[in-house]
């Protein structure tokens, strides 16, 4: 019995019939890019998240890049974010020539520390990108207040948090913009690349719509624009996937509960959900000082684990050569050596979870 870290295939297979018929509909539509399906998805997703607008783009990294561009952030501006995230968060900042400023994370939740953000704000700071890591919310309300008082923009990277909540609000509906990746392993996954941007601001939505297609208004390029279009097949697939997102998220939450209740090893620290929030457990990440031993033991038993993320971004090769503004990142650096992502996906079986817990509780 092999247990993968995640399995987009099992998820897709459950909806295979509906997906195949959706694809077939697209084939017969004679419209393959930014057509009816993309518009339907944008409308459904904005309703789901609770924003006035949603804009489909090519991937999650582009979602962030286009949001930064639409907000008018330029070369030389500073954008505060974390080093403990997927590289796409940071390379979106690089793509527009702005300067990422890395700050440390909260010890308990591993998301951006508002206290550190406050200290890092300068006259050049134009935006903050808060990453809702592993499906758990960043301290987004505190960040929103801080951003309002300093007149800087707040971007939510919700690529791991489709359907997660802070209080009664879905993540991606709180900042100026929400950015989602629909990479196949994400909670809402396509069968290829896709991304979605959410916002309540009409001007911003309209600018992003132009930016994703050559800066066009009626095929006249009003400004520099990328090609970051969403294709109809991915949009149609995502419509099917969106229908089962809530159910799948609940299954992930159940898996997390099982781990919480059944991992009993003093050497393992379990993840904590921010008080008053709903995590959708994109990942289930434990912390331990005996990481290698655990990974090895699970591997011997055909269980795949992951590390998200093993090298903090400021320590990666690219940043040895750049002028990224690096603060004290003690917690980031420390936990990168302690974290392990355990298998989690809606289709994982009780027997498999029991086996993983047994192994974790009986390390010899």
Ligand X SMILES: *Cc1c(COP(=O)(O)O)cnc(C)c1O
Q: Which residues bind ligand X (CB under 6 A)?
A: 59-61, 85-86, 88-89, 131, 157, 159-160, 181, 183, 193, 195
Closer of 85 and 125 to ligand X (Cβ): 85
- Give Cβ neighbours of residue 307 (< 8 Å, ≥ 6 apart): 336, 339, 340, 341
Residue 231 · residue 23 · CB < 8 Å: no
Closer of 268 and 342 to ligand X (Cβ): 342
Residue of minimal CB distance from ligand X?
A: 60
- Terminal-to-terminal C-alpha distance of the chain: 21
The DSSP string of 16-62 is: HHHHHHHHHHHHHHT--BSSHHHHHHHHHHHHHHT-SEEEEES-HHH
Q: Classify residue 184 as left (phi > 0), alpha (psi -120 to 50) or beta.
A: alpha
What is the chain's length?
364
Residue 163 · residue 246 · CB < 8 Å: yes
Closer of 77 and 193 to ligand X (Cβ): 193
Supply the minimum distance, in Å, between the C-beta of residue 181 and ligand X. Answer: 3
Q: What are the distances in angstroms from CA 55 to CA 197, 228, 276, 306, 330? A: 5, 11, 28, 31, 37
Supply the minimum distance, in Å, between the C-beta of residue 88 and ligand X. Answer: 3
Q: Do strands 195-199 and 177-181 pair parallel, antiparallel, or not at all (unpaired)?
A: antiparallel
Closer of 82 and 205 to ligand X (Cβ): 82
Supply the minimum distance, in Å, between the C-beta of residue 82 and ligand X. Answer: 9
Q: What are the distances in angstroms from CA 282 to CA 77, 113, 250, 302? A: 31, 21, 11, 21
- CA distance linking residue 157 with residue 135, whole number of Å: 11
Supply the minimum distance, in Å, between the C-beta of residue 72 and ligand X. Answer: 21
Closer of 181 and 288 to ligand X (Cβ): 181
Closer of 125 and 160 to ligand X (Cβ): 160
Supply the minimum distance, in Å, between the C-beta of residue 284 and ligand X. Answer: 15
Structure tokens at 257: 């509960």
Supply the minimum distance, in Å, between the C-beta of residue 247 and ligand X. Answer: 22
Supply the minimum distance, in Å, between the C-beta of residue 179 and ligand X. Answer: 7
Supply the minimum distance, in Å, between the C-beta of residue 189 and ligand X. Answer: 10
Beta bridge partners of residue 178, listed in sequence order: 156, 198
Closer of 37 and 193 to ligand X (Cβ): 193
Closer of 59 and 357 to ligand X (Cβ): 59
Closer of 159 and 332 to ligand X (Cβ): 159
Supply the minimum distance, in Å, between the C-beta of residue 304 and ligand X. Answer: 18
**Three-state secondary structure call for residue 196:** strand
Q: Do strands 153-157 and 177-181 pair parallel, antiparallel, or not at all (unpaired)?
A: parallel
Residue 339 · residue 105 · CB < 8 Å: no
């Amino acid at each position: 019995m092999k247990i993968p870290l995640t399995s987009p295939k099992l998820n897709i297979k459950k909806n295979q019939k509906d997906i195949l018929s959706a694809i077939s509909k697209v084939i017969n539509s004679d419209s393959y890019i930014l057509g009816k399906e993309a518009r339907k998805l944008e409308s459904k997703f904005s309703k789901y998240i609770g924003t006035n607008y949603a804009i489909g783009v090519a991937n999650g990294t582009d979602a962030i890049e286009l949001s930064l561009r639409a907000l008018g952030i330029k070369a030389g501006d500073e954008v505060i974010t974390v080093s403990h995230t997927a590289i796409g968060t940071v390379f979106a900042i690089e793509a527009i020539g702005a300067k990422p400023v890395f700050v440390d994370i909260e010890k308990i939740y591993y998301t951006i520390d508002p206290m550190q953000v406050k200290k890092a704000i300068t006259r050049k700071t134009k935006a903050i990108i808060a990453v809702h890591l592993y499906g758990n919310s960043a301290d987004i309300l505190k960040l929103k207040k801080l951003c309002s008082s300093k007149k800087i923009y707040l971007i939510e990277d919700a690529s791991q948090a489709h359907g997660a909540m802070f209080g009664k609000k879905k993540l991606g509906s709180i900042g100026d913009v929400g950015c989602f990746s629909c990479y196949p392993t994400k909670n809402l996954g396509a069968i290829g690349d896709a991304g979605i941007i959410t916002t309540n601001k009409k001007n911003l939505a309209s600018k992003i719509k132009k930016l994703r297609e050559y800066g066009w208004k009626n095929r006249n390029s009003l400004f520099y624009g990328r090609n970051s279009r969403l294709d109809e097949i991915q949009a149609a697939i995502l419509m099917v996937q969106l229908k089962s997102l809530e159910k799948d998220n609940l299954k992930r939450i159940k898996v997390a509960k099982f781990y919480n209740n059944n991992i009993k090893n003093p050497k393992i620290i379990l993840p904590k959900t921010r008080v008053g929030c709903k995590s959708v457990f994109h990942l289930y990440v434990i912390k331990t000082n005996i990481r290698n031993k655990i990974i090895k033991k699970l591997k011997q038993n055909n269980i795949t684990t992951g590390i998200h993320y093993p090298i903090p971004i400021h320590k990666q090769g690219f940043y040895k050569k750049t002028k990224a503004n690096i603060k004290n990142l003690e917690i980031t650096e420390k936990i990168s050596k302690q974290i392990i992502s355990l298998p989690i996906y809606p289709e994982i079986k009780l027997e498999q979870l029991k086996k993983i817990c047994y192994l974790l509780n009986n390390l010899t």
